[in-house]
Amino acid sequence: MIRILSGRWIISGVPVWRHFLQTIKVPNNTTKPQLQLYFPASSVLMAGRAASTNRPLRIKPVTWHASRLCQNDSRAAASEGNKKQESFSMKALAQAPKPALYLGFSGLIPFLSAPLLMTATQSFYPEVAFAQMVYGASIVSFLGGARWGFAIPPGSPAQPDWMNLGNSVVPSLVAWLALLCRDNFTEGALLVVMGLGLSLHYDLTLLPGYPAWFKAMRTVLTLVATFSIVASLLIKHFCTEKKIKDAWK
């Protein structure tokens, strides 16, 4: 009830000007001041409205699950690690152990000695060429057995499954077929070349697990052995054939 008493406005016994000064509130979280009058009769209603209007705006932050981020990072690191492990270069040949490096390159002597001997004498010797082909077939069979020895130990990167063990048998079968071509050096030599290339293809692409230095050494040794056999085939085509016994007479 508003009434006038001695020139002043009084609301329910309280002067208007004093009540106005006591009820002015300027919120700190707003840029523009807001004047709010709280009358005793409607203080509860106005307080509820003020609480609803002055409630700060809440923005829900965008959250990312840490487990997903860690999982994605681990997958990316694993894929990069696999790529680094599978990829190799010829620079890795310097990291090869000395026994493997010396024994591997000394194994090229029987491959290179046959075409060098026949080139020096300008003659094709079937016995020398056959010895070269037999040695190549034994190397092809050895490369297939090396995969078995690599896959069988526990904890090896190559599992003893059908792919690893089954593909390791193929070079041995190719080498056996090459040894059956005793009277035809051309067919036996081509089978040995095919076995060498097939073994290299298995070790570099289909059957991972070998270290980078071994892959680099295998590539160099296979290329030199293949070119030596091809050189013997060319000598047979361009040079006259002689028996090794006739050359010593």
**Using one digit for the tens of pLDDT, what is the confidence trace for 38-56?**
444 444 444 444 444 455 5
Tell me: the pLDDT tens digits for 55-73?
554 545 444 444 443 444 4
Q: Are 19 and 142 part of one and the same domain?
A: no
Average pLDDT over residues 137-164: 89
Residue 141 has pLDDT above 90, yes or no: yes
| pLDDT for 197 | 95
In a domain, 179, yes or no: yes
Tell me: the pLDDT tens digits for 176-205?
999 999 889 999 999 999 999 999 998 888
d(CA 193, CA 187): 10
In a domain, 168, yes or no: yes
In a domain, 79, yes or no: no
In a domain, 203, yes or no: yes
Q: Using DSSP, state whether 72 is helix, strand or coil.
A: helix
d(CA 158, CA 165): 10
Q: Are 33 and 154 part of one and the same domain?
A: no
Q: Are 107 and 165 part of one and the same domain?
A: yes
CB 46 within 8 A of CB 36: yes
Band of residue 248 on the pLDDT scale cut at 50, 70, 90: low
Q: Are 48 and 130 part of one and the same domain?
A: no
Average pLDDT over residues 80-89: 51
Continuous H helices in 87-125 = 98-106, 109-121
Q: How many CB atoms lie within 10 A of CB 23?
A: 14
Mean pLDDT of the chain, nearest integer: 75
Q: Domain count of the chain?
A: 2
In a domain, 60, yes or no: no
Q: Are 241 and 179 part of one and the same domain?
A: yes
In a domain, 22, yes or no: yes
What DSSP state is assigned to residue 7?
A: T
Q: Are 105 and 185 part of one and the same domain?
A: yes
In a domain, 59, yes or no: no
Residue 89 has pLDDT above 70, yes or no: yes
Q: Are 37 and 152 part of one and the same domain?
A: no
Q: Are 222 and 156 part of one and the same domain?
A: yes
Q: Are 151 and 203 part of one and the same domain?
A: yes
| pLDDT for 216 | 92
CB 97 within 8 A of CB 156: no
Q: Are 109 and 222 part of one and the same domain?
A: yes
Q: Are 26 and 132 part of one and the same domain?
A: no
For 43, the domain range is 2-53
More confident residue, 92 or 5: 92
Q: Are 36 and 150 part of one and the same domain?
A: no
In a domain, 76, yes or no: no
